[in-house]
């Protein structure tokens, strides 16, 4: 019995020493706090983002903030952590007042997409005059709520670019659409590729011979300028025997201007193809109709809307190059709501979306805006 009692006390003492050793080892482990690099790896963000979150520097998106805090909790960080954000997330979409079918379709696509978002995501649609630089800059730099993301549709200028850089400095995700803006994630088609596609199709359909009229959309619009660059470059390189005539003025997306430019070109000689980078195709149709040329020359245009759909159905236009605004809007919202607003996501052409090509054989039956 004595031996049994002695064995009991010896076992208890050994167990006590083991517990002391385990406790000492545990204290040693706890003394080594997780470093920023470990928290960053756990959260999937940069170390600078971890620093801004844990030290309350205030330039991080709500998504990144929550990820860092959760990672810090998981790693057992022994400090008072910032509170996680569970409120509303405000997204601004700033668009110019523009009556062209492309911008109308973008607006409709945005309204449809908003309905699919969670209730805690609030999207504010702001439409402003295109040349009102002051209002644009104010809307970008001074939102009346804490904004987590911004989508800017269309081109910009020095004042608005400065405001966008301020928004980026606050940790907001900024996405640009239609026109690629510096430092933002661009969502949209590669307009140079669109122009090259038009030149390729015209070259094939004309068999590389004849006279081509290029109608340019509004001056100063980067998307139209890029289409022209891509078109001219491809035509010269791949189809050098085509004679290119560039209209002496821009079309201003106006049917009457398009009519006059086509009329003037036809007065100088026969045409084998027309490429219009913008709107105003009803004017082109009228100029060709008066000379009984509808369907007798190659015609490439942009954007699928009701007018162009009808021109395709009657085989007056050969090809419509479409930007697919529904896909652009969805990708823009996904991008602006993605997890990390530091510098971890790619910029620039990472957001290029595919163009869609429509001919008489695949005209959509769904209604399109005019």
CATH of the domain at 337: 3.40.50.2300
In a domain, 224, yes or no: yes
* 254 in the same domain as 201: yes
Give me the mean pLDDT over the 204-233 stretch: 96
DSSP 3-state assignment of 45? coil
The whole-number pLDDT of residue 97 equals 93
In a domain, 111, yes or no: yes
Q: What is the CATH number of the domain that holds 55?
A: 1.10.260.40
Q: CA 287 to CA 290: how far, in whole Å?
A: 6
pLDDT above 90 as % of the chain: 59
pLDDT: which is higher, 26 or 63: 63
* 293 in the same domain as 174: no
* 171 in the same domain as 233: no
In a domain, 356, yes or no: no
Residue 265: CB atoms within 10 Å: 21
Whether this prediction's pTM lies above 0.95 is answered by no
* 195 in the same domain as 107: no
* 198 in the same domain as 308: yes
In a domain, 180, yes or no: yes
In a domain, 241, yes or no: yes
The whole-number pLDDT of residue 344 equals 41
* 131 in the same domain as 235: no
Beta-bridge partners for 203:
none
Give the tens place of pLDDT for each residue, 58-83: 667 777 888 888 888 888 888 877 76
In a domain, 368, yes or no: no
Number of domains in the chain: 3
The whole-number pLDDT of residue 349 equals 47
Residue 226: CB atoms within 10 Å: 20
For residue 307 the two structure tokens come to 């007018």
In a domain, 300, yes or no: yes
Mean predicted lDDT score pLDDT of the chain: 86
Of 25-34, 145-154, 189-198, 204-213, the one with minimum mean pLDDT is 25-34
Task: Give the domain-ending residue among 22, 56, 85.
Answer: 85
Give me the mean pLDDT over the 97-111 stretch: 92
Cα three-residue angle 257-263-266, rounded to 5 degrees: 140
Domain encompassing residue 175: 89-188+326-351
Q: CA 231 to CA 118: how far, in whole Å?
A: 42
Of 13-27, 121-135, 174-188, 320-334, the one with minimum mean pLDDT is 13-27
In a domain, 6, yes or no: no
* 234 in the same domain as 170: no
The whole-number pLDDT of residue 10 equals 45
């Amino acid at each position: 019995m004595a031996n049994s009692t002695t064995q009991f006390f010896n076992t208890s003492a050994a167990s006590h020493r083991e517990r002391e050793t385990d406790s000492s080892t545990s204290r040693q482990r706890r003394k080594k706090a997780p470093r920023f690099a470990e928290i960053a790896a756990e959260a999937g963000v940069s170390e600078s983002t971890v620093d801004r979150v844990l030290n309350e520097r205030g330039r991080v998106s709500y998504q990144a903030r929550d990820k860092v805090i959760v990672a810090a909790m998981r790693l057992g960080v022994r400090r008072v952590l910032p509170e996680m954000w569970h409120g509303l997330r405000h997204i601004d979409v700033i668009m110019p007042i523009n009556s062209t079918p492309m911008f109308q379709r973008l607006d409709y696509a945005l309204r449809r997409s908003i309905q699919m978002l969670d209730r805690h995501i609030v999207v504010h649609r702001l439409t402003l005059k295109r040349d009102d630089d002051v209002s644009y800059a104010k809307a970008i730099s001074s939102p009346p709520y804490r904004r987590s993301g911004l989508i800017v549709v269309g081109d910009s200028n020095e004042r608005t670019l400065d405001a966008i850089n301020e928004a980026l400095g606050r940790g907001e995700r900024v996405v640009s659409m239609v026109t690629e803006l510096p430092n933002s994630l661009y969502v949209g088609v590669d307009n140079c590729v669109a122009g090259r596609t038009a030149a390729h199709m015209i070259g094939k359909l004309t068999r590389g011979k004849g006279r081509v009229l290029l109608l340019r959309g509004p001056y100063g619009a980067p998307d139209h300028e890029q289409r022209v660059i891509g078109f001219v470059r491809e035509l010269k390189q791949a189809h050098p025997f085509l004679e290119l005539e560039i209209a002496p003025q821009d079309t201003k997306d106006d049917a009457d201007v398009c009519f006059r430019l086509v009329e003037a070109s036809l007065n100088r000689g026969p045409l084998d193809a027309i490429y219009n980078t913008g709107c105003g195709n009803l004017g082109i149709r009228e100029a060709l109709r008066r000379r009984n040329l509808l369907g007798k020359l190659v015609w490439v245009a942009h954007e699928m809307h009701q007018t162009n759909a009808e021109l395709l159905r009657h085989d007056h236009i050969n090809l419509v190059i479409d930007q697919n605004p529904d896909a652009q809007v969805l990708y823009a919202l996904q991008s602006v709501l993605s997890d990390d607003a530091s510098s971890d996501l790619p910029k620039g052409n990472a957001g290029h979306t595919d163009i869609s090509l429509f001919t008489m054989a695949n005209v959509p039956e769904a209604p399109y805006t005019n």
